[in-house]
Chain A
């Protein structure tokens, strides 16, 4: 049950298909994904590399690079259909209403421009303010994200920043225009563990302070457990399981979710052996007749290789895509 169930979602994705058309094959990176994010909510999107999490994020922003293309589905942001927007309209949403931060903060900053210039650029792209005004805003933003001596730091170049500091700059840039939704694509993966926590805390603070929704994309189950209200687990371009974070973590339904959780070392019981997931992600260049997880699934049965399961709600707000639970409903 969601507290936000009665309000309109800030983002609603329905039946999203994003495929990459290479010369030899069609890569079905995102293959029928539906979910919603409500204002002020932090949603975790988890899964192995290549499961389609990042492509989902890029699809939302309309930034899928060729040869990729959103082939089907609707993306409704704040009541507007993103897929029907013109390039100009999209650009007015990007960085303004939906901001994004990336895995490698140093790489996300242009090495040849000063940090200040990049921040000012982000501000002035969407706000009609003068250079000086924008600069003042930039100082405030850096202060807000916890960078000491912002006045000194602004003229500096990205390579003069540590990873954590750079990610703070990127976050400041994302916050510049008070977005309604922040998409954080593996925001801490490239950082030290101690810095990770700081960034996660910062994101949580900002979520509280500005009331922006956050889509937190990660492969790190522990981070999701800490910070996200809801969790969506993706596998092979599809959603395997979604629900309130406690429900998903305490009562994982999908064998894949179970396997993922089993592979995370439990810091409270360090002696317990972890149980790594065997096998490889599915070949998404072909349409699977059955369940994509079937080859690696420990609980598979006759139906699994022949019929593709549908996502079904097995509990209130807790959905899973597995034949095991079809009988239950």
Chain B
């Protein structure tokens, strides 16, 4: 197991170098002078300021120098300073990532708690002589969830639960009039989480259901029954464990993609996450931020993939010994 992990860790290094090169190359290929765009948006016509700012951000250096400076500084934890915001990129990324992380974690938790549970339950009751309304619901609800766009639901929920009923906050990460505590954060998380996770809940529900139905047809499930095991053991020990393998992969990839930030949801809920930061920085050519965010997201994705692989090996011994 240790060797397996070590091998996977080593394989990540060339990947990260490739990512850094691609990110750097793309940032240089973006058309438009970031400083000029920045200043022009504020109607500042000052060529001296443009040049001074270009110097400040190292944009007048030759490309290999820029790459090397960027890379070596980044290894020291210094990703530079945002042209547009004037803040340290690492601070910006930390803040964005913290907000994105909270909603991504809540979404994955929702996917697991609702999606997986409902999926497993609907597999367990699949083909049982239950009222058709219930079995139909269990089979069709996830399809509905997948087919309705999450952001549309989000907008709708804001109108109902935020504005009409006033139960939940419509946007933001905190209510400045109330305490900055966990309950306040939880309230603000509810609607974005539902909007963000809805389709994934449906997808995982269906995936869990289909996988579990497949698994329950396996011989070892019949064997488990034949061994006289209680039903809960058959379903939740023998059935669930193997069902978990594709589910974990799905959740891992979902978490990875959620950590890159969902621009639309962050936009709708004024959620200052990494997606919003990345899109705004890209549109405004805030190159240091774009580079930092891309590297961060790519690294996170790679690390998460690694984590999923390792988890996969823990859950499924066949992977470990392969």
Is A–B contact present in the complex under a CB 8 A cutoff? yes
B227 touches A95 (CB 8 A): yes
In the assembled complex, how far is the CB of residue B50 from the closest CB belonging to chain A, in whole angstroms? 62
Q: Quick check: which of B284-292, B293-301, B311-319 contacts chain A, the rest being far away?
A: B311-319
Q: Quick check: which of A118-126, A212-220, A230-238, A242-250 contacts chain B, the rest being far away?
A: A118-126
Q: What is the bound-complex CA distance between A160 and B218, given in angstroms?
A: 19
Q: What is the bound-complex CA distance between A109 and B218, given in angstroms?
A: 10
Any A CB within 8 A of the CB of B128: yes
Task: Mark each residue of chain A from 34 to 77: 1 if its CB lies under 8 Å from any CB of chain B, else 0.
Answer: 00000000000000000000000010010101110000000000
Q: What is the bound-complex CA distance between A157 and B314, given in angstroms?
A: 13
In the assembled complex, how far is the CB of residue B63 from the closest CB belonging to chain A, in whole angstroms? 51
Known: A94-B226, A110-B242, A121-B227. A67 touches B127 (CB 8 A): yes
B223 touches A170 (CB 8 A): yes
A108 touches B316 (CB 8 A): no
A94 touches B241 (CB 8 A): no
Question: Binding site of B, secondary structure by majority: helix, strand, loop or mixed?
Answer: helix
Question: Number of B residues contacting the other chain (C-beta, 8 Å)?
Answer: 26
Q: Quick check: which of A25-33, A99-107, A193-201, A273-281 contacts chain B, the rest being far away?
A: A99-107
Residue of A nearest to B223 (CB): A108
Any B CB within 8 A of the CB of A159: yes
Residues of A within 8 A of B222 (CB): 58, 63, 102, 108
B223 touches A102 (CB 8 A): yes
B227 touches A107 (CB 8 A): no
A112 touches B229 (CB 8 A): no
Q: Which of B225, B233, B316, B317 lies in contact with A63, CB distance below 8 A?
A: B225
Residues of A within 8 A of B238 (CB): 110, 113
Q: What is the bound-complex CA distance between A114 and B321, given in angstroms?
A: 13
Q: What is the bound-complex CA distance between A122 and B245, given in angstroms?
A: 24
In the assembled complex, how far is the CB of residue A84 from the closest CB belonging to chain B, in whole angstroms? 18
Any B CB within 8 A of the CB of A223: no
Residue of A nearest to B225 (CB): A63
A108 touches B219 (CB 8 A): yes
Q: Which of A65, A92, A114 lies in contact with B228, CB distance below 8 A?
A: A92
Task: Mark each residue of chain B from 205 to 233: 1 if its CB lies under 8 Å from any CB of chain A, else 0.
Answer: 00000000000001110111111111101
In the assembled complex, how far is the CB of residue B209 from the closest CB belonging to chain A, in whole angstroms? 16
Q: What is the bound-complex CA distance between A103 and B223, given in angstroms?
A: 11
A selection of 28 A-B contacts at a CB cut-off of 8 Å is A58-B222, A63-B225, A90-B228, A91-B230, A94-B225, A94-B227, A95-B226, A96-B228, A102-B219, A102-B222, A102-B223, A102-B226, A107-B219, A108-B223, A109-B220, A110-B223, A110-B242, A111-B220, A111-B317, A112-B242, A113-B241, A114-B317, A121-B227, A126-B228, A157-B317, A159-B317, A170-B223, A173-B223
Contact residues of B with A, CB < 8 Å? 127-129, 218-220, 222-231, 233, 238, 241-242, 245, 315-318, 321
